[in-house]
């Protein structure tokens, strides 16, 4: 029963990992208030027309804005929208010549999780004890990096947020919301932890029973 459940959890973890790394995990969009754009434009125009900017040129522009009702402009303008998955982030890092970072992100969030789950699945099959011991050693070593994928996703979110707000000043208001990929990856993390715990129990129980029989 434990073996069947362990195989089921491992397979489910693999199934969740695929959309977790391919589907968008975060969308960040930036908006600017229309009134702020008008005010900034007036300030720049007044600076170009007359020095200092607080001279008659600004007063005349304010009067013109008031006549046309531009000071009553409301609403926001979306200036950018950025959506990325883990794979998209790896590709973006590679394209921007951050090759080492791209390799590390891909390694810890994609390669190592797939390797660990695949080895766990193989270890659940009826194979030779010697081969199973080798696989268990590899799993034990890889398991030390089991939380690195969560750390990588946190870094990706920070990276995207930093790029979104860079150079935009105080006018920009950024909003972020998680996409489906984030929840797939979160579900993968939870099922992966459960499958690893059950797998460890399933692998140690026969050894414990054998020691008692001896």
- pLDDT of 58: 53
The half-sphere exposure of 43 on its side-chain side, counting CA atoms within 13 A, is 6
Q: What is the pLDDT of residues 170-206, one digit of tens each?
A: 666 777 788 899 899 889 988 988 888 888 777 665 5
Rg (the chain; Cα; Å): 28
Can you name the CATH fold of 2-32+80-202? Butyryl-CoA Dehydrogenase, subunit A; domain 3 (1.20.140)
For residue 158, count CB atoms less than 10 angstroms from its CB and return exposed for 0-12, middle for 13-18, buried for 19 or more: exposed
- pLDDT of 210: 45
Q: Which residues of the chain have pLDDT under 70?
A: 1, 32-79, 146-147, 157-172, 203-214
- pLDDT of 214: 44
- pLDDT of 72: 55
Q: What is the pLDDT of residues 61-83, one digit of tens each?
A: 555 555 555 555 555 666 677 88
Tokens standing for residue 38: 């008008």
Tokens standing for residue 137: 């050693």
């Amino acid at each position: 029963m434990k073996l069947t459940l362990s195989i089921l959890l491992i397979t489910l973890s693999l199934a969740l990992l695929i959309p977790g790394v391919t589907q968008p995990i975060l969308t960040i969009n930036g908006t600017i208030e229309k009134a702020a754009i008008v005010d900034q434009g007036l300030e720049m125009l007044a600076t170009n027309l007359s020095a200092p900017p607080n001279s008659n040129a600004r007063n005349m522009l304010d009067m013109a804005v008031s006549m046309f009702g531009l000071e009553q402009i409301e609403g926001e303008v979306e200036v950018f929208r950025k959506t990325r998955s883990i794979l998209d982030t790896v590709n973006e890092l590679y394209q921007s010549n951050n090759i080492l970072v791209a390799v590390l992100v891909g390694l810890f969030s994609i390669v190592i999780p797939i390797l660990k789950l695949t080895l766990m699945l193989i270890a659940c099959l009826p194979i030779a004890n010697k081969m199973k011991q080798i696989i268990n050693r590899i799993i034990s070593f890889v398991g030390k990096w089991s939380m690195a994928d969560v750390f990588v996703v946190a870094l990706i979110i920070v990276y995207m947020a930093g790029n979104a707000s860079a150079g935009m000043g105080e006018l920009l208001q950024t909003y972020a919301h998680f996409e489906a990929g984030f929840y797939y990856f979160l579900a993968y993390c939870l099922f992966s932890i459960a499958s690893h715990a059950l797998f460890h129990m399933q692998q140690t129980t026969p050894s414990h029973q054998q020691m008692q029989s001896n």
